[in-house]
């Protein structure tokens, strides 16, 4: 199995679930991608007249603009809005998108360093309240509360390291 250089999740507006997008190899402007398990060879060129992709030997001219995690892609008369998230952003979006019920034990999805703890034990929080900052893969990730409740316990300290699956905090 080939080593994955990067993994993302993409969702075309109106098309439902996020699909995994993996960069398997990259050299110059040629990339080998896996999109939802199907492999593509993509040759990419950016010029004054726009962006050109050759995907599995078929050429596509497109205009792309980006705002945050949203890409607007225009090709001829077709327009697509695509959201692209890394693993941590996808996890956090799913966790905050619906308020969970009952006691929630928040754990890590990837190893990292606890940069800052933003709450205290006994503090009331709402859905989406920032709880702490986790640095993983050279990126600062804000861990947010998945539900409204009270901070019952905090298992980490600022400056401490965590591994995948380590408990961070309990909200009840």
In the chain, where the domains are located: 6-86, 98-171
| Token pair for 87 | 């693993």
Assigned CATH topology for domain 98-171 = OB fold (Dihydrolipoamide Acetyltransferase, E2P) (2.40.50)
Model pLDDT for residues 34-79, shown as the tens digit of each residue: 999 899 998 988 877 778 888 888 888 888 888 888 988 888 888 8
Contact (Cβ atoms closer than 8 angstroms) between residue 145 and residue 126? yes
Using DSSP's 3-state secondary structure scheme, residue 88 falls into: helix
Q: Binning pLDDT at 50, 70 and 90, where does residue 100 land? A: low
Query: Is the Cα dihedral 85, 89, 92, 93 positive or negative?
Result: negative
Q: Is the pLDDT of residue 97 over 70?
A: no
Domain 6-86, CATH among 3.40.50.300, 3.30.700.30, 3.40.640.10, 3.50.50.60: 3.30.700.30
């Amino acid at each position: 199995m080939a080593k994955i250089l990067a993994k993302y999740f993409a969702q075309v507006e109106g098309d439902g679930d996020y699909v995994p997008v993996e960069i398997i190899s990259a050299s110059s402007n040629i990339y080998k991608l896996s999109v939802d398990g199907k492999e593509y060879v993509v040759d990419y060129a950016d010029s004054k007249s726009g962006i050109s992709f050759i995907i599995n030997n078929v050429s596509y001219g497109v205009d792309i603009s980006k705002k945050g995690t949203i890409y607007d892609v225009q090709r001829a008369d077709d327009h697509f809005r695509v959201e692209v998230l890394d693993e941590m952003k996808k996890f956090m979006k799913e966790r905050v998108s619906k308020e969970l019920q009952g006691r929630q034990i928040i754990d890590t999805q990837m190893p990292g360093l606890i940069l800052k703890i933003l709450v205290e034990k006994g503090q009331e929080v709402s859905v989406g309240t920032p709880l702490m900052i986790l640095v993983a893969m050279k990126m600062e990730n804000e861990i947010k509360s998945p539900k409204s409740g009270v901070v019952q316990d905090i298992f980490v300290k600022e400056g401490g390291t965590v591994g995948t699956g380590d408990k961070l905090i309990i909200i009840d």
